Chain A
Amino acid sequence: DTGVSQDPRHKITKRGQNVTFRCDPISEHNRLYWYRQTLGQGPEFLTYFQNEAQLEKSRLLSDRFSAERPKGSFSTLEIQRTEQGDSAMYLCASSILSEQFFGPGTRLTVL
């Protein structure tokens, strides 16, 4: 299967800890996106990369959040000093043109 992959699939952490998620896009997809989904809501855009350049960031992406895509392939999303409000599903997507394909997500629980 050559779909978008995300790791880990589940993460439980204590408030105040740092967490890092990884996303591997579909091979040759130059665009990569991060979204966050809370219970009962649709996904919300966080940030978007074209190759290694971060082209757009949402205001939802506070100073505690940072995303990188150093070589234009996989991407990492780090959350520092996690808060209970960070509990959500974090979704990654990739595309060549406009149509985005999503990974299985990382479910974060902050205790």
Chain B
Amino acid sequence: GIQVEQSPPDLILQEGANSTLRCNFSDSVNNLQWFHQNPWGQLINLFYIPSGTKQNGRLSATTVATERYSLLYISSSQTTDSGVYFCAGAGGTSYGKLTFGQGTILTVHP
């Protein structure tokens, strides 16, 4: 199956700073999603982005499918951005099976 590697594992920022989270895939994917897990454990959808670039407010994401990676950009970070960010992908015939990375733990200090 697909292997998903996220970096960095931990990230500490001051409020207002920008950050980039990366996700590498071992094989091509036809479904790629970014999530933010809130303190209660719920996964909040950020982007569905198997290819291309999308933006939503201070967040944007880019997937370069041919090179098997995706980036999540957070600009002007706020304390409420703190939490765990996951990327997940599915490919081949297992398009229903999302494989998640280990996550990036983001801490934003005031």
Residues of A within 8 A of B (CB): 31, 33, 35, 37, 41-45, 48, 50, 55-56, 58, 89, 91, 93, 98-105, 107
Q: Report A-chain residues with C-beta under 8 Å of the C-beta of B43.
A: 43, 91, 102
Residues of B within 8 A of A (CB): 4, 30-31, 33, 35, 40-43, 45, 48, 50, 86, 88, 90, 94-103
For B48, give its contact among A31, A55, A99 (CB under 8 Å): A99
CB pair A56 B94 closer than 8 Å? yes
For A45, give its contact among B30, B42, B45, B97 (CB under 8 Å): B97
A56 CB to closest chain B CB (Å) equals 6
* Known interface pairs A91-B43, A98-B30, A105-B41; A42-B103 also in contact (CB < 8 Å): yes
Q: Report A-chain residues with C-beta under 8 Å of the C-beta of B98.
A: 33, 35, 43, 45, 93, 100
Q: Report B-chain residues with C-beta under 8 Å of the C-beta of A44.
A: 100
CB pair B86 A42 closer than 8 Å? yes
For B101, give its contact among A42, A91, A93, A107 (CB under 8 Å): A42
Q: Report A-chain residues with C-beta under 8 Å of the C-beta of B101.
A: 42
Q: Output the nearest chain A residue to B32 by Cβ-Cβ distance.
A: A98
Q: Output the nearest chain A residue to B90 by Cβ-Cβ distance.
A: A98
* Known interface pairs A31-B96, A42-B86, A48-B96; A102-B102 also in contact (CB < 8 Å): no
CB pair B94 A105 closer than 8 Å? no
Q: Report B-chain residues with C-beta under 8 Å of the C-beta of A33.
A: 96-98
For B100, give its contact among A42, A56, A58 (CB under 8 Å): A42
For A98, give its contact among B4, B42, B95 (CB under 8 Å): B95
* Known interface pairs A91-B43, A99-B45, A104-B40; A45-B33 also in contact (CB < 8 Å): no
